[in-house]
Amino acid sequence: MDQIFLHSLRKTTARWRAEDAQVADDATGVNLFRLRMLWPVAAALNGLFLIGFLWRLLGAALPQAVAEWNLRLIWVHTFIVGAALALGWVVHRARQTRHARAANWLATGCAVLIMLVGIVLVAVDQPITPNITSYLIACLLAGGAVYLRPRVAGLVYVLSYVVFFKVMGWTQVHPELVLSNRINGFAACVLGCLCSCFLWRQFCTITLQQRQLEKANTELNQKQRDLERLTRQDGLTGLFNRNTFVELSRRELDRAQRQGSSTTILLLDLDHFKRINDTWGHPAGDAVLRHVATLASTTVRSTDLVGRLGGEEFIVLLPNTSAEAGRKLAEKLRYRLESTPVQWEKTTIAVTASFGLANTTVEEKRDFDTLYTEADKALYLAKQRGRNRVV
C-alpha cells in the first residue's frame, strides 16, 4: 500500500509540475495585470494612513512611547507609499519591454515585499500591542494578490516565518507573548501558504480547461467549415455542386437584372466519357474529371462560377458577359481541353468536350431555368453535329 501511495504521489507531482510549466506564461500575464491594479490601491490606502498618523502626531500631545510608535508608523507607511509607486513604475516598464524574466521576478518580489511590510508593522506594534494582525493580513494578501508556484510560495513563506520568528524574540519582552505570537504566526504562515497553493492549482486547472475548450471549439468550427464546404462543393473536383451553383446563379441573375448587364451560361459535356471508364477504369475517369475542373477554373475569370452538375457534365456562369464573349471563352476552354491530354499511368488519354451556350440580356429577363434549358438544347446540337464544338 505504501508503495502504491508513493507511486501515485510521484505521478501526481510530476503531472502538476508539467502543468505548472504550461501555465507559467499565463500566470505572468495575470500577475502583471494584478500588480498594475494593486499598486495604486496600496499607495492610496497607505497614503491615507500616513495622513492620519501625521494628523494624530501633530494634533495632540501624546505620551512619549505612543509618539515614538506613531512616528515609526509614519516612516513605515511612507516607505510603503514609495515602494508602491516604485512598483508601479517597474510594472509599467515590464509591460512595455515584455521582459519575461523580469515579469516573473516581479510577482515573487511583490510577495516578499508584502511579507516584509507585515513583519515590520508587527515589530513596530510590539511595544504598544502584542497583536500580529499585520502579519496575518500579509500572509493572506501575499497568497492571494499574485499567483506563485507552490515551491516558490513555500520558500517565501518559510523564509518569512524565520524572519518573523527572530523579530518576535527581538521586539517582545514577555516570553509568554513571544511564544503565543510565534505559534499564531506559524498558523498564519501555513494558512497563507495553503491559500497560495490552492489558488495556483485552481488557476492551473481553469487555464488548462480553457485551453482544451478553445481547442475543442476550434476543431468544432473547422469541422463545421468542412461540413459547409462538403455541402456546397463537389467532393471529387472541388467545384460547386449542382444545388449551390443553381442558388448562386439565381442570385447573380437577380443582380444582373438590377444592374442591367448580360449573363452567359456554358454547359460542357465530356465526349465519350463512358469509353474512358470502360477502357482505363473509374480511377482514370476521376483523374480526367479533376483535370477538366482544374482547366475550367484556371481558364475563366475569378468572378465566374464553375460547377459540376453530375457525371461528366459541367456548367459555367459568366456574369457581365455577352454571347460573343462567352463563345470565345468556350472556344478557348475547348481548345485547352483538346490540346492537354491527361497522363494516366503509362498512357495518354485524349479529352474533348461539347459546349452549349445560352445568353440573356436585361431586356429579355430570362431566369436560370430558361437559360439552362436553352444551353442544354445547344449542347445537344453540338453533340449531334460531331462533338468537340461550341453551339
Reply yes or no on whether the pLDDT at 336 is more than 90: yes
288 against 229, higher pLDDT: 288
Min mean pLDDT across 53-57, 302-306, 307-311 is at 53-57
Distance, in Å, from the CA atom of 360 to the CA atom of 25, rounded to the nearest integer, reads: 62
Q: What is the pLDDT of residues 151-193, one digit of tens each?
A: 999 999 999 999 999 999 999 889 999 999 999 999 999 999 9
- Angle among Cα 232, 234, 236 to the nearest 5 degrees reads 150
Taking the mean position of all CA atoms in its chain, how far away is CA 33?
19
What is the average pLDDT value for the chain, to the nearest integer? 88
Closest CA to 23 of 121, 147, 129: 147
Own/partner contacts of 360-365, CB < 8 Å, gap of 24 or more, are 360/253, 360/256, 360/262, 360/263, 361/262, 362/256, 362/257, 362/260, 362/261, 362/262, 365/257
Reply yes or no on whether the pLDDT at 341 is more than 60: yes
Distance, in Å, from the CA atom of 58 to the CA atom of 53, rounded to the nearest integer, reads: 9
- Collapsing DSSP to helix, strand or coil, 100 comes out as helix
Reply yes or no on whether the pLDDT at 137 is more than 60: yes
- H or E stretch covering 145: helix 133-145
Closest CA to 136 of 181, 72, 166: 181
The boundaries of every CATH 3.30.70.270 domain in the chain are 242-384
Reply yes or no on whether the pLDDT at 59 is more than 90: no
Distance, in Å, from the CA atom of 302 to the CA atom of 147, rounded to the nearest integer, reads: 54
Closest CA to 105 of 140, 74, 149: 149
Section 347-366 average pLDDT: 90
| pLDDT of res. 98 | 65
Distance, in Å, from the CA atom of 300 to the CA atom of 274, rounded to the nearest integer, reads: 26
The per-residue DSSP string of 237-279 comes to T-SB-HHHHHHHHHHHHHHHHHHT--EEEEEEEETTHHHHHHH
| Range 242-384 has CATH code 1.10.3290.10 | no
Residue 221 cell numbers, joined: 468550427
State residue 373 phi and psi, 5-degree precision. Answer: -65, -45
Reply yes or no on whether the pLDDT at 240 is more than 70: yes
Distance, in Å, from the CA atom of 30 to the CA atom of 107, rounded to the nearest integer, reads: 10
- Angle among Cα 269, 273, 279 to the nearest 5 degrees reads 170
Distance, in Å, from the CA atom of 91 to the CA atom of 93, rounded to the nearest integer, reads: 5
Work out the pLDDT band at 230, boundaries 50, 70, 90: low
Work out the pLDDT band at 31, boundaries 50, 70, 90: confident
Closest CA to 352 of 248, 241, 276, 260: 276
Measure the CA dihedral 136/141/143/148, to 10°: -140
Beta strand residue intervals within 118-198, DSSP E: none
pTM higher than 0.85:
no
- Collapsing DSSP to helix, strand or coil, 309 comes out as strand
282 against 3, higher pLDDT: 282
271 against 223, higher pLDDT: 271
Please count the CA atoms within 13 angstroms of the CA of 77 that sit on its side-chain side: 19
| pLDDT of res. 100 | 62
Q: What is the pLDDT of residues 246-279, one digit of tens each?
A: 888 888 888 888 888 899 999 999 999 999 999 9
Rg, Å, the chain Cα set: 40
Beta strand residue intervals within the chain, DSSP E: 263-270, 305-310, 313-319, 342-344, 347-349, 353-360
Distance, in Å, from the CA atom of 284 to the CA atom of 347, rounded to the nearest integer, reads: 10
Work out the pLDDT band at 99, boundaries 50, 70, 90: low
C-beta separation of 228 from 216 below 8 A: no
Distance, in Å, from the CA atom of 323 to the CA atom of 366, rounded to the nearest integer, reads: 14
